[in-house]
Amino acid sequence: MQRFYEVMFIVRPDVADEDLDKLIAGLEQTVTNGGGAVRSTEKLGRRKLAYTVRKFNDGNYILLTIDAGGPLVAELERRLRVSEPVIKFITVRMDEEDKRLAKVRAIRATRKKLSAIPVPAEPPAPAEPASTPAAAPAETATPAGA
């Protein structure tokens, strides 16, 4: 079963761009080979680190969102640990969080619809199923934007 993870890692600042891209491509390859799927790759750019890591004061932040199984994540982490340019990484499991958020939003959507209904009873039935698919794309947009 595929779980949704966010992997954020920091690459040392003195690697060239092509090397960085190669590294990311290699990691994506690992994911796809292991049966996972890469949802998105974001380069957050160079940032100043809050504390010194391996004698570096800033680093390149990269965020990778993937769908993968547990063992695949372990493999990915092993690769990150071993790869020399990566100085820090964190993997956060997001699928449960997403489920909770979706539930909250669904509840909120139904609540809004009920309050919006003036008097007739008919609009709620078509309105509610219409609202949840309409709300869903809007909701999925917000975690990406967060």
Q: Interface with another protein includes 143 (CB under 8 A)? A: yes
- Is 79 or 105 the residue whose CB approaches another protein more closely? 105
CA end-to-end span of the chain: 26
Q: Interface with another protein includes 53 (CB under 8 A)? A: yes
Strands (E), 14-131: 37-53, 56-68, 86-93
The only residue of 39, 43, 79, 105 in contact with another protein, by rule CB under 8 A? 105
Cα 133 from chain centroid? Answer: 21
For residue 126, the minimal CB distance to another protein (Å) is 26
Residues whose CB is less than 8 angstroms from the CB of residue 58 and which lie 6 or more positions away in sequence, other chains included: 13, 46, 47, 48, 49
Q: Interface with another protein includes 113 (CB under 8 A)? A: no
- Is 38 or 87 the residue whose CB approaches another protein more closely? 87
Q: Interface with another protein includes 96 (CB under 8 A)? A: no
Angle, vertex CA 21, rays to CA 16 and CA 23, nearest 5: 95
Residues at the site binding another protein, with contacts judged by CB under 8 A: 8, 10, 47, 49-51, 53, 59, 63, 88-90, 92, 97, 101, 104-105, 108, 142-143, 146
